A and B are shown apart, each in its own frame.
Chain A
Amino acid sequence: MHDVFILVGTVAADIAILATWWFLGSRLVPAELAPESSNAEADKGTRTLHRVLTYVCFLLLAGLIIECTAMFPAILVRFGWS
């Protein structure tokens, strides 16, 4: 009986995973086939999304620049040449 619960749970998990990807796939319509009304630039919600993503990515970009600039000098200062 213990195995039955696990197997049923596994099937349920598999179905949930497949359903998630079905949902995602059906939402992400290829841009070439999308109706003109779905063109997102005009949509206010999309503009907000783009603004937020731009801020997040800019912060991450700044972090990467700091990492790129500091990593090798820090290694040389801390450990020297191998």
Chain B
Amino acid sequence: MVLRDASDDTRQNLAEPQPDSASTDAAENKSRWVEPADGWLFAGVVLCGTMLLGPFGAIPLIVGLVKLRRSVKAGTNVRPWAATVIGTFCMIDGMINFVPWSLDTFAHNTILGETFITGYGRFFDGAFFLDYNTGALGGVANHTEKMWQFLAVFILMPMRVVSAWAFLQMKTWGLHFMKISAWLYLFLWVGYTMAMSLDFPERMANSEYGMGWWLFNLFYLSPMFVLPYLYTVNKRLWSR
């Protein structure tokens, strides 16, 4: 695997004189993403992250990952494969928490919103089904869940999504924001685990699959896997 400093490209683009505006545009287009396949990756993550359009997102996401893997094997990659995997995981994880929770926050009265959220509730977490749309703010009625939901929708998850994309684009602030959002995520994970455990009889026990608690815990553990990477990575690569 060849690791190339992304800033080299940026410096080259700035240093080389461009003969006309068309060439300038071409150079800008060329350097829009760190890797040429990042467009596939972005489309796949966004579509999958909506959950509602998930089936349409898997294809571009897998195409993007395959192209990026080939680039790594050919030694033409700018971004380390580990950063691609970890950044993509964090971004899709942020999206699937951000979009459905915002659906419950803002669109709990719509057929699409109610179908998806209450369906999720029936499958995994009874709080999203029992007494749905009966609380003061609509949507999920469980007060603890509503509190975490607002923290997630307005602070953590959008922060996670943008920082993951900036991280994938090798931006300095992306690496910085990934660390901050990972610590916040750890904070949310501890609180959310407590809420889930204390409300277990009303939530998990009222769902079709008792394994919901384990399922959510597995994926919410992302900061445990990501923080060690963020603090040991070669920071000079994130210089765009």
Q: Name A's B-contacting residues (CB within 8 A).
A: 28, 31-32, 34, 39-41, 43, 46, 49-51, 53-54, 56-58, 60-61, 63-65, 67-76, 78-82
Other-chain contact of B57, A41, A43, A68 (Cβ < 8 Å) = A68
Q: What residues of chain B lie closer than 8 Å to A43, measured between beta carbons? A: 232
B10-18, B114-122, B137-145: which lies at the interface: B114-122
Q: What residues of chain B lie closer than 8 Å to A54, measured between beta carbons? A: 81-82, 85-86
CB-CB contacts below 8 Å: B45-69 with A: 48-49, 51-52, 54-55, 57-58, 61-62
Other-chain contact of A82, B55, B86, B118, B229 (Cβ < 8 Å) = B118
Other-chain contact of A65, B48, B118, B119, B120 (Cβ < 8 Å) = B48
B32-40, B195-203, B218-226: which lies at the interface: B218-226
A49 and B92 contact, CB distance less than 8 A: no
B111 and A82 contact, CB distance less than 8 A: yes
Closest CB in chain A relative to B204 CB, distance in Å: 17
Q: Name B's A-contacting residues (CB within 8 A).
A: 3, 48-49, 51-52, 54-55, 57-58, 61-62, 81-82, 85-86, 88-89, 92-93, 96, 111, 114-116, 118-120, 122-123, 175, 218-219, 222, 225-226, 228-229, 231-236
B89 and A61 contact, CB distance less than 8 A: yes
Q: Which one of A64, A70, A73, A79 has the highest number of Cβ atoms from chain B below 10 Å of its Cβ?
A: A64
Complex Cα gap A75–B123 (Å) = 8
Other-chain contact of B119, A56, A60, A64, A79 (Cβ < 8 Å) = A79
A64 and B93 contact, CB distance less than 8 A: yes
Closest CB in chain B relative to A78 CB, distance in Å: 7
Closest CB in chain A relative to B21 CB, distance in Å: 37
Q: What residues of chain A lie closer than 8 Å to B88, measured between beta carbons? A: 61
A58-B85 contact given A50-B232, A63-B218, A68-B58, CB 8 Å threshold: yes
